[in-house]
Amino acid sequence: MDLFSLINLLMLLLSRKDNDVFLSFSHHDIGKNFGDHLYKDLNSAGIRTLRDDGGIYAGQKSDIKKPIQESRISVVVFSKDYASSTKCLDQLVHIMDARNETGLVVLPVFYNVDPSEVSEQKGLFEEAFAKHEKSFHKEMARVESWRAALKEAADLAGMVLQQDSFRGKDTRRNFTDHLYKALSREGIPTFRDDDGIRRGENIELEIKKAVQETKLSIIVFSKEYASSRWCLDELEMIMERRRTVGHIVFPVFYDVDPSEVGTQTGRYGEEFAKHEIHFKDRVEGWRKALKEVAYMEGMVLEDGYESKFIESIVKEIADKLNLSLPCQYILFYFIF
């Protein structure tokens, strides 16, 4: 399941006249990435979507009822920390009440959490409820209403998104996918190194050809980037092309400090300790490329919304590429 599938499903469910969605999710957990992207993509698709961003809730439980009751559909995104938020749990109770009283359509989305954990309150949901029972021991009826709402919602037909374990906590299925789509929407033809290139008969030749045919490379450094020798080989190739023909390189540091990349400390240091054993003859070239790229002009994602960060990247790229050029020259190689 991806955002495109979810949005298409919602468009089928909504009538032309009554097309509101109320979106419930944990801002602390996914408010700056998946939740924010989903909210903006729904609105971009012409689906008027409301979310509790602090303005409509304002600490009063009764304030949230009206926007929920006025919506045709409620999308509830269950993430690992959803149950730690009493605001989310109160919202969910109102949502399930509206479903039973007025026929509100409820679509649960399970983001990196199994539906059984939600329904049975296991794992992090169990830990959250252990704290709630202590904090709200005089309001056990409220706690029980949260449990009942979770069980009822989790048993509904919904969608499950599980991030595959690929290079550890990888960015392929989230941040880089959103960045790739944002670039494409702006009319910037973008090539990315996906699984297809791995199946070629001569991988090195295919990668080299892709790099040579592009004007600019965006390199997204995440915590696990250095664990992949494919990424390191590609980086070395890109930096060599920068030195020889002036290929434009734009580094993006996602949840990692540039100094860790440049000096190979932290997770990068751990991975290079392994590489020194298995790829001793390649390490020097990889270190040189990382040091060189880490001190180039790029962008660092700090504690902010991913969507705004992506907008800033797209603007920077458009400026660097000079979009007055013919489209065939505005191509990219995109690795992560």
Ordered DSSP codes for 122-155: -THHHHHHHHHHHHTTT-HHHHHHHHHHHHHHHT
Do 25 and 79 form a contact (C-beta atoms < 8 A)? yes
- Lowest average pLDDT, out of 68-77, 119-128, 162-171, goes to 162-171
| Strand-pair category, 216-221 with 191-192 | unpaired
How far apart CA 43 and CA 249 sit, in angstroms, is 33
Confidence at 204, pLDDT banded by 50, 70, 90 = low
**Candidates 152, 224, 234, 260; catalytic one:** 234
Across residues 222-229, what is the average pLDDT? 90
- Residue 275 amino acid letter: H
Nearest Cα neighbor of 249 from 239, 262, 234 is 239
Across residues 22-28, what is the average pLDDT? 91
Is the model more confident about 287 or about 47?
A: 287
pLDDT of residue 319: 80
Kindly state the percentage of the chain with pLDDT values over 90: 43
The three-class DSSP label of residue 54 is coil
CATH architecture of the domain 175-335 equals: 3-Layer(aba) Sandwich (3.40)
Characterise 54 by phi-psi region: left (phi > 0), alpha (psi -120 to 50), beta (else).
left
How far apart CA 38 and CA 305 sit, in angstroms, is 13
Is the model more confident about 72 or about 63?
A: 72
pLDDT of residue 314: 83
The three-class DSSP label of residue 48 is strand
Residue 108, C-beta contacts closer than 8 angstroms, at least 6 positions apart: 76, 78, 115, 118, 153, 154, 156, 158, 159
How far apart CA 195 and CA 205 sit, in angstroms, is 15
Across residues 59-65, what is the average pLDDT? 61
Characterise 114 by phi-psi region: left (phi > 0), alpha (psi -120 to 50), beta (else).
beta
Is the model more confident about 58 or about 215?
A: 215
The number of residues making up the chain comes to: 336
Spans of all domains in the chain: 3-161, 175-335
Do 235 and 289 form a contact (C-beta atoms < 8 A)? yes
Is the model more confident about 328 or about 290?
A: 290
Residues 198/202/205/206 CA torsion (nearest 10 deg): -40
The CATH classification of domain 3-161, taken from the options 3.40.50.10140, 3.30.1330.10, 1.10.10.10, 2.40.110.10 = 3.40.50.10140
Domains 3-161 and 175-335 fall in the same CATH topology: yes
Do 23 and 51 form a contact (C-beta atoms < 8 A)? yes
> Is 260 one of the catalytic residues?
no
pLDDT of residue 34: 86
How far apart CA 268 and CA 127 sit, in angstroms, is 32
How far apart CA 171 and CA 148 sit, in angstroms, is 35
Helix axes of 140-154 and 86-102: crossing angle, nearest 10 degrees? 60
Residue located via tokens 């794992």: 123
Characterise 59 by phi-psi region: left (phi > 0), alpha (psi -120 to 50), beta (else).
left
Q: Which two tokens stand for residue 191?
A: 């090539």
pTM of the model: 0.59
| Strand-pair category, 159-161 with 105-111 | parallel
Do 33 and 83 form a contact (C-beta atoms < 8 A)? no
How far apart CA 89 and CA 145 sit, in angstroms, is 9
Confidence at 194, pLDDT banded by 50, 70, 90 = low
